[in-house]
């Protein structure tokens, strides 16, 4: 055996990925064909879609073809099977649009863990650093380290909108402040707020799994006693009514506009609201909504195509004599 032979064995493809483009009316017969040969009958149907730059307004695009794919075990699939599939697709293509069969060799990987190599230690503010549990980091004297297991991917802190919100948090937080985190996701902002000196943070999210993830991450960082998490939002029926010294909302623009009245009501005179998650093209709509609600614009910051806005609570009305 030569030195190169072990590598050849290790790198041998374990799977063949079969895919084809077709129109919507051909999806069902192509899927049935693939299911007869694919591993465990599994078939993936990828419909083309359009969406706004911030991920909002997702819609299927009927003008583009659908991709249908399946996987077969490379060692158990003789070339004759692939030829049969190719011939069957050719016959289907006489009736509807069906493209050429595409074959790609795929090697076996531990997908559940491979992504962890790309999530290490990241600075997401001037002082705030996020690290994964599987990496060590010795913090500098002024650093605040949030240990975050992304888990169900509700936010790792790496998106520009989160970084902008963290910068706003670092600038606006005063020691002993009460903070409200709306749309908490993984809890990265809530946890960072406590580590930066907040006395207490109330955090809300409409997704139950986000609530669970935030609780777990708060406990991981030793701040569970100062972070209260509940399913819900702001406005009527909110789990945490009242006002706060600092309100954080890192949510897409359309949702921020929908929540304007609830967010504004949580900001008292002298309080601060930090909004992020705003794609630049939607900035003016957000500004109009919050300024119409009586909040006072302070400043904006931008990173790539994303914008964060800082507002102050309305001044207390003066009594007429």
Question: Are 210 and 284 contained in the same domain?
Answer: yes
CATH number of the domain encompassing residue 168? 3.40.50.150
pLDDT at 62: 85
Question: Are 234 and 103 contained in the same domain?
Answer: no
**Which phi and psi (to 5°) does residue 239 adopt?**
-70, -25
CATH number of the domain encompassing residue 18? 3.30.70.120
Q: What global pTM score does this model have?
A: 0.76
Question: Are 157 and 302 contained in the same domain?
Answer: yes
pLDDT at 156: 65
Question: Per residue in 144-176, pLDDT tens?
Answer: 999 987 665 456 667 899 999 999 999 999 999
pLDDT at 99: 93
pLDDT at 98: 94
Domain-embedded: residue 56: yes
pLDDT at 111: 54
Domain-embedded: residue 217: yes
pLDDT at 116: 61
Domain-embedded: residue 146: no
Question: Are 103 and 239 contained in the same domain?
Answer: no
Domain final residue pick, 108, 142, 161: 108
Question: Per residue in 74-101, pLDDT tens?
Answer: 888 888 999 999 999 999 999 889 999 9
Question: Per residue in 184-209, pLDDT tens?
Answer: 999 999 999 999 999 999 999 999 99
Domain-embedded: residue 118: no
Question: Are 288 and 200 contained in the same domain?
Answer: yes
Question: Are 300 and 185 contained in the same domain?
Answer: yes
Domain-embedded: residue 113: no
Residue 317 has pLDDT above 70, yes or no: no
Count: domains in the chain: 2
Question: Are 234 and 303 contained in the same domain?
Answer: yes
pLDDT at 59: 82
Enclosing domain of residue 279: 153-312
Question: Per residue in 256-310, pLDDT tens?
Answer: 999 999 999 999 999 999 999 999 999 999 999 999 999 999 999 999 999 999 9
**Distance in angstroms (rounded) separating the CA atoms of residues 218 and 227:** 7
Question: Are 91 and 160 contained in the same domain?
Answer: no
């Amino acid at each position: 055996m030569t030195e190169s032979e072990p590598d050849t064995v290790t790198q041998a493809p374990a799977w063949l990925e079969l895919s084809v483009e077709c129109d919507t009316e051909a999806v069902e017969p192509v899927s049935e064909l693939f299911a007869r040969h694919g591993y465990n009958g599994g078939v993936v149907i990828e419909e083309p879609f359009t969406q706004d730059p911030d991920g909002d307004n997702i819609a299927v695009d009927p003008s583009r073809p659908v991709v249908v794919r399946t996987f077969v075990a490379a060692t158990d699939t003789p070339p004759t099977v692939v030829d049969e599939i190719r011939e069957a697709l050719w016959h289907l293509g006489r009736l509807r649009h069906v493209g050429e069969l595409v074959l790609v060799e795929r090697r076996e990987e531990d997908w559940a863990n491979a992504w962890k190599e790309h999530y290490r230690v990241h600075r997401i503010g001037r002082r705030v650093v996020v690290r994964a549990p599987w990496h060590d980091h010795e913090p500098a004297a002024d650093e605040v380290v949030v240990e975050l297991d992304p888990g169900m991917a509700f936010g790792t802190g790496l998106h520009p909108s989160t970084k902008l919100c963290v910068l706003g948090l670092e600038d606006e937080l005063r020691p002993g402040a009460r903070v409200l985190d709306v749309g908490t996701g993984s809890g990265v902002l809530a946890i960072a707020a406590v580590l930066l000196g907040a006395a207490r943070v109330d955090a809300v999210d409409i997704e139950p799994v986000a609530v669970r993830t935030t609780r777990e991450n708060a406990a991981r960082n030793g701040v569970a006693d100062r972070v209260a998490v509940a399913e819900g939002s702001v406005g009527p029926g909110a789990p945490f009514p009242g006002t706060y010294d600092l309100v954080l909302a890192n949510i897409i623009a359309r949702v921020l506009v929908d929540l304007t009245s609830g967010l504004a009501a949580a900001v008292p005179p002298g309080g601060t609201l930090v909004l992020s998650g705003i794609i630049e093209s939607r900035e003016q709509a957000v500004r109009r909504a919050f300024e119409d609600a009586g909040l006072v614009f302070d400043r904006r910051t931008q990173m790539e195509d994303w914008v964060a806005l800082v507002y102050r609570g309305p001044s207390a009305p003066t009594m007429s004599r």
